[in-house]
Amino acid sequence: MKFLGFIVVCLTGALLLYGTGDFSNWGDPNSPASLHLSNEYIERALEETQVPNLVTAVLADYRGFDTMFETAVIFCAGLACFLLLRDFREKKQRFYRHIPTGVILHVKNSKKVLPVGREFEHIDKDWVPSDLIIKTVCRILVPFIQIYAMYVVAHGDFSPGGGFQGGVIFGSSLILIAISYDLKILVRRIKEKVFGIFAAVGVLIYVGIAALCMPMGGNFLDYSKLAPLLPGDPHHVRALGMLGVEIGVGIAVTAVMVIIYINIVSEGRLEEGL
């Protein structure tokens, strides 16, 4: 079976490489994309979408289907990581304190534990203290990182940014908590089930906004039909629709990032890892 899989991968790769022969050269001004699509987007994007950021207009509006399925792929990646790595077996952890020095030792999932004698005593702790300076600095940084992440998501239609970038930044702030404190601290404050729910909710927000356009008389992802539901300038409604889907993307990316991290570094046990 492994040999058969190797052959399939080689044949698929060869087919893809063969297909690249029909592509235009990189940066060719005479390519179909440069002659038709690029000019169309550059000339009409601001008028049609009211979004100054051309990249956001293309990704969330003209190419909205592709971005929606990219979000679905991220969700599936997090789900696959959870199903492959998650270990549901009961864990037994033991903590010992070295009496003369006060150093706490953590013995994880081992049948051989340190003997409780004159030098060691068993303690009932579910976390190992880390450096106070690191924890304090991270506590100060995390709120600012999260505020910046929300700024990136909210201003994605006016400047470089958006749901994917903001979601990665917000997710990194949560991972920073796990690194500076302990993985269990993060999981205790935000349950793994909550991350899974948010990952699905992010995708549903994108699909829901896109589907809501249909009963309003438009096509799937036709944000302009949401004007009766949104206050403000009706010409800016497409930009507001894009903001909504970017928020959904940001929520999904944040949750999936944390799900992948906590399962990889702890080998699915949700204990302290990397």
In a domain, 202, yes or no: yes
Does a structural domain hold residue 120?
no
User: What gap in Å lies between CA 173 and CA 214, rounded to an integer?
Assistant: 37
Position 30 in a domain: no
If phi > 0 it is left, if psi is from -120 to 50 it is alpha, else beta; for residue 99 that is alpha
Q: Is 268 helix (H, G, I), strand (E, B) or coil?
A: coil
3-state secondary structure (DSSP) of residue 36: helix
107 belongs to a structural domain: no
Structural element, H or E, at residue 170: helix 163-180
40 in a domain, yes or no?
A: no
Whether 214 is in a domain gets the answer yes
Please give the pLDDT value at position 127: 46
Domain tally, the chain: 1
The DSSP H or E segment spanning 65 is helix 64-85
- Helix (H/G/I), strand (E/B), else coil: 240: helix
Contact 81, 260 (CB under 8 A): yes
Neighbouring C-beta atoms of residue 188, cutoff 10 Å:
12
Which pLDDT score is estimated for 37?
81
Report the b/e string of 6-25 with b at 16+ CB within 10 A: eeeeeeeeeeeeeeeeeeee
Residues of the chain falling short of pLDDT 50? 110, 124, 126-129
20 assigned to some structural domain:
no
Report how far residue 254's alpha carbon sits from residue 169's, in angstroms, rounded to the nearest whole number. 8
Is residue 45 in some structural domain? no
Output DSSP code: residue 120.
E
Domain that holds residue 244: 50-88+130-265
